[in-house]
Amino acid sequence: MALGHANRQVDRGLADARHGGFLSPALVSRGLVSDELANAATVKAQRLGLALDDVYARSFAVSPLSIAQTVANHHGAQIINPLEDVPDLALVRQFEPAKCLQHGIMPWRQIGGDTIVLTARPSQFMRHEAALAGRFGRIRMAVTTEDQLAQTVTRYCGHVLAQEAENKVPAAESCRDWNPRFALICGALALLGAMALAIATPQVFFAALTGWAIIVLALHTALKATAAYIGWRNVPPSPHSVVPARLPVITMLVPLYNETAIAEHLLTRLKALDYPRELLDVCLVLEADDATTRETLGRTTLPTWMRAIVVPKGTIKTKPRALNYALNFARGAIIGIWDAEDAPAPDQLHIAANHFANCGHDVVCLQGTLDYYNASANWLTRCFTIEYASWFRVILPGLQKLGLVIPLGGTTLFSGAMRLRFWADGTHITSPKMPILAFGWPDMGIAPN
């Protein structure tokens, strides 16, 4: 197979891709787009700060394969589909599957003493060319599509990524080595000891138990009262608040399980977002053995800014594990999480982007305020609404102003991609609580069902 060498026009190609250099004329000459559409795509790419191929694929429904063929022709490179021409898995594992997804490049095969490296972005190949050459020797570039590259890594190395998702948290900070049998024995011994003490000296036992409960309740009430007082104090807004010159790409991870009404509910709520679709990357995360959700997705037409990520089977099945796995596929500079039943406010992503543009480097996570949309339905929903309002709007802002650790909920979280290692311990059965020590606190309205 004759493979063309990647030339040194990659940096120029990146600028061209952003500002309408070679790509637009080439697509026009091939009859894939009109002059008017090419001009509109160029303007949008410049306004949003996106690569032109992304704009064509997301906004104007140009086939990624057609774009890849055009890019390959421009760089004199071969176009390869690794789903059909299987890569050398030893090379992929040597480079690491997660890095293939992170950098958008994948060593494919060694031919004639050269290592062929696949990419959908020649600029990415150029950026890592020296490191690749140092590891594999002589290298040459070939072009594929982003989806083909990601599907290849998932097909042949998904089990590796799944195992890494379970063990991303260091063992010393993880509960994966927790021994439930030992905990059960200790709990039983403690219960037997308490029963023996209650039988031997019931007055002393119950007096001590009551005193302990009163002390804990008093301390908890004092903490909440202090946080409420501090939280109600008005803090003047920063005089240096700035609006980001260009909005970032935001990836939202939405874990699903046994969902049957994605089109009727989830898609309708997410389509109400007013964030530019070209900058929105919604990942629906589902388990490989979740036949119900997979069948539902099979009947649903997803928009171009939404995609499904299937988590391979593993030794455990938890929400944090699924999120850790999906992080490998995130494209955004900001990564967030929603639950399937959430109904985010239309401007929530704009607010998150503005907060990240104005917060300091010590802020690694923003957590949104939760509300109930049916607060007036009955007495129970009113109680939940009051509890959520006091917790999110009074107590937690007070704890943040006191400089205390803020517990995270399981939804409406946003973090910078460069500083995010994992959402939580993959063996935890519920949601991330306190994996990060420094948090910002925005007032982002959200109304989950």
pLDDT computed for residue 428 by the predictor:
53
Task: Please report, for residues 176, 210, 286, 302, 341, the alpha-carbon distance to residue 298 in angstroms, rounded to integers and kept in the order given.
Answer: 34, 57, 13, 10, 20
Nearest of 105, 110, 91, 79 to residue 156 by alpha carbon: 91
What percentage of the chain reaches a pLDDT higher than 90?
A: 49
* Distance, CA of 421 to CA of 117 (rounded, Å): 26
Q: How confident is the model at residue 1 (pLDDT cuts 50, 70, 90)?
A: very low
Instruction: Judge contact between 334 and 409, C-beta under 8 A.
Output: no
DSSP-based three-state secondary structure for 432: coil
* Distance, CA of 449 to CA of 439 (rounded, Å): 26
Task: Please report, for residues 203, 394, 399, 417, 445, the alpha-carbon distance to residue 389 in angstroms, rounded to integers and kept in the order given.
Answer: 41, 7, 15, 29, 11
Nearest of 333, 334, 310 to residue 322 by alpha carbon: 310
Strand partners, 414: 336, 366
Q: How confident is the model at residue 423 (pLDDT cuts 50, 70, 90)?
A: low
* Distance, CA of 319 to CA of 278 (rounded, Å): 27
* This prediction's pTM: 0.82
* Distance, CA of 312 to CA of 159 (rounded, Å): 6
Q: What average pLDDT score do residues 216-227 get?
A: 94
In the chain, what is the straight-line distance between the N-terminal and C-terminal CA atoms, in Å? 56
Instruction: Judge contact between 143 and 75, C-beta under 8 A.
Output: yes
Whether 19 has a pLDDT exceeding 50, the answer reads no
| pLDDT tens, position by position, 147-197 | 999 999 999 999 999 998 888 777 666 676 777 888 889 999 999 998 998
Whether 276 has a pLDDT exceeding 80, the answer reads yes
* Distance, CA of 123 to CA of 21 (rounded, Å): 14
Q: How confident is the model at residue 449 (pLDDT cuts 50, 70, 90)?
A: very low
Q: What average pLDDT score do residues 324-331 get?
A: 93
Paired tokens of 124: 């990415």
Question: Across the chain, what does the average pLDDT equal?
Answer: 83
Task: Please provide residue 365's backbone torsions phi and psi, each rounded to the nearest 5 degrees.
Answer: -150, 140
Paired tokens of 149: 């590259």
Q: How confident is the model at residue 7 (pLDDT cuts 50, 70, 90)?
A: very low
Q: How confident is the model at residue 298 (pLDDT cuts 50, 70, 90)?
A: confident
Please report, to the nearest 10 degrees, the dihedral formed by the alpha carbons of residues 128, 132, 137, 140 taken in order: -60
| pLDDT tens, position by position, 380-394 | 989 999 998 888 888
Q: How confident is the model at residue 411 (pLDDT cuts 50, 70, 90)?
A: confident
pLDDT computed for residue 441 by the predictor:
39
| pLDDT tens, position by position, 129-153 | 999 999 999 999 999 999 999 999 9
* DSSP of 10-59: HHHHHHHHHHTSSHHHHHHHTTSS-HHHHHHHHHHHHHHT--HHHHHHHH
Instruction: Judge contact between 370 and 444, C-beta under 8 A.
Output: no
Question: Which of 368 and 236 is assigned the larger pLDDT?
Answer: 368
Q: What average pLDDT score do residues 280-304 get?
A: 92
Strand partners, 307: 283
Nearest of 306, 256, 261, 258 to residue 285 by alpha carbon: 256
pLDDT computed for residue 235 by the predictor:
58
Task: Please provide residue 369's backbone torsions phi and psi, each rounded to the nearest 5 degrees.
Answer: -80, 135
pLDDT computed for residue 252 by the predictor:
95
As a whole number of angstroms, the longest Cα–Cα distance in the chain is 93
Fold of 250-446: Spore Coat Polysaccharide Biosynthesis Protein SpsA; Chain A (3.90.550)
pLDDT computed for residue 87 by the predictor:
96
Whether 212 has a pLDDT exceeding 50, the answer reads yes
Strand partners, 117: 107, 141
Give the count of beta carbons closer than 10 Å to the beta carbon of residue 322.
Answer: 25
Nearest of 264, 433, 407, 267 to residue 344 by alpha carbon: 267
| pLDDT tens, position by position, 92-125 | 999 999 999 999 999 999 998 899 999 998 988 9
Whether 6 has a pLDDT exceeding 60, the answer reads no
Whether 4 has a pLDDT exceeding 80, the answer reads no
CA 266 to chain centre: 17
